[in-house]
Amino acid sequence: MPRPAKHHEISKLLKQRIDSGMYLDQQIPGERALAAEVGVSYMTARKAVQQLVEDNVLARAKNGRLEAYSKPDVEKATRTYVLLTPAFESFGYSNIRMAIERVMSHFNGVLKISSYRHWYDPALMSAFDGDWDGIFIIPPNEGLPKLLLDRMLTARDRLVSVYSDLTAHGFVSVDNSLESWASVMVEHLAGLGHDRVDCLNTQPGSEVLNRVKGWQAGVHKLGIKGRSWNEQVENFDFNWVRAYDVAYEGLKSGKMANAVFCTTLATCKGLARAAYELGMKPGKDVHYCTMDVPYEAVYEIPSVTTLNLHSLHHYIHKAFEWLEYGDAVLPKNKLLLVPDKAPELLLGESTGFKSQVDISKMNEFYKDR
């Protein structure tokens, strides 16, 4: 169990945040807010802040708010990080890479991208032999074989899992798309008058299979009917092609519902094409939605209803702090770094709503974060 953080450790953490530019566009938290965030007592936070005031890092304004006193320290040692990612294009994976690179720049780091095709890929296995300050991994879809897990465990104190919850193995994990949020999408479809909501999934991987579980929980909670169309492709195959085939046959035969929760945006693409070729109008004859990449969903024709996911920036920043300072910076000492509440719905034409999204503002929102 992690030991309680001492005030000088909190001082060091707060100074690093100031130097990294984390508070350039937001207020530096006061003692009570700081104590609640990092899970220490008010007195510990107060001592930490007072130490930084005495060190001319912080100054207290006339209104009582804390302000940065000194300029960021630019004389820092360069740190090295590696991102281990499956070797195929994914908008979600690109978002992870960009979030890591942006946050890493505040930690004076450099990032190496190492792609792998299979769990036994030498590029994946050899990465754990490197002298990295931090290792970020998007785990392989087929799960963690013992050989890979054993190698990962040797680097547990500098390894962060992204998009997969590996906290059961003791790894810090970052995710901004929880399985329980799939039920929000089921409730949305049911709210349109559907008494049956099916689930379409053609992609392998624990994260999307968890979304299927979330769909099941939503259907059960509402007491409505639903069928799971779960026909996964092999790794690195085109899942939207399989989605098209499955949806075409399901819709043509009348066996697939006209309200469908798709586990990924790519699955939505396959379903939309199938509906179009069958003469069905998306948003009218068939409703579908997902909980995937909102910054891409708004560009689809028709635009796809999804969740306006929380930015990864804040949680990646927390992961970097953990790599720097250890367990004391984890909220309530939990290894899983996730948002506290589900994001808002981003309504689209796929469920019959006119898109209200200001695309230019959305682009800037995700770009800046």
Q: How far is CA 283 from CA 42, 71, 189, 217, 354, in A?
A: 52, 53, 11, 24, 10
Q: Which of 33, 137, 124 is nearest to 83 (CA)?
A: 137
pLDDT at 16: 81
Per-residue confidence (pLDDT) for residue 221, from 0 to 100: 94
pLDDT value at residue 365? 47
Burial class (CB in 10 A: 0-12, 13-18, 19+), 32: exposed
Q: Is 129 exposed, middle or buried (0-12, 13-18, 19+ CB in 10 A)?
A: exposed
Domain 179-308+343-357 is of which CATH architecture? 3-Layer(aba) Sandwich (3.40)
pLDDT at 236: 62
Token pair for 282: 């998306």
CB 49 within 8 A of CB 8: no
The per-residue pLDDT for 64 is: 74
The fold of 79-174+311-335 is: Rossmann fold (3.40.50)
Q: Coil, helix or strand for 109?
A: strand
Residue 149's contacts (CB-CB under 8 Å, 6 or more residues apart) are 169
User: The CATH number of 7-68 is which of 1.20.810.10, 3.40.50.1370, 1.10.15.40, 1.10.10.10?
Assistant: 1.10.10.10
pLDDT score, position 356: 63
At 81 the pLDDT is 93
pLDDT of residue 368: 43
Domain(s) labelled CATH 3.40.50.2300 in the chain stretch across: 79-174+311-335, 179-308+343-357
Mean pLDDT in consecutive groups of 10 residues from the start of the chain, 369 residues: 67 81 71 84 89 85 73 61 83 81 84 85 82 89 80 92 89 83 94 96 82 94 96 80 96 97 94 96 95 85 89 86 87 82 88 72 49
Domain with CATH 1.10.10.10 in the chain: 7-68
Helical H segments across the chain, by residue range = 7-20, 31-38, 42-54, 91-104, 122-125, 146-153, 182-191, 206-222, 239-253, 265-277, 294-297, 313-325, 359-368
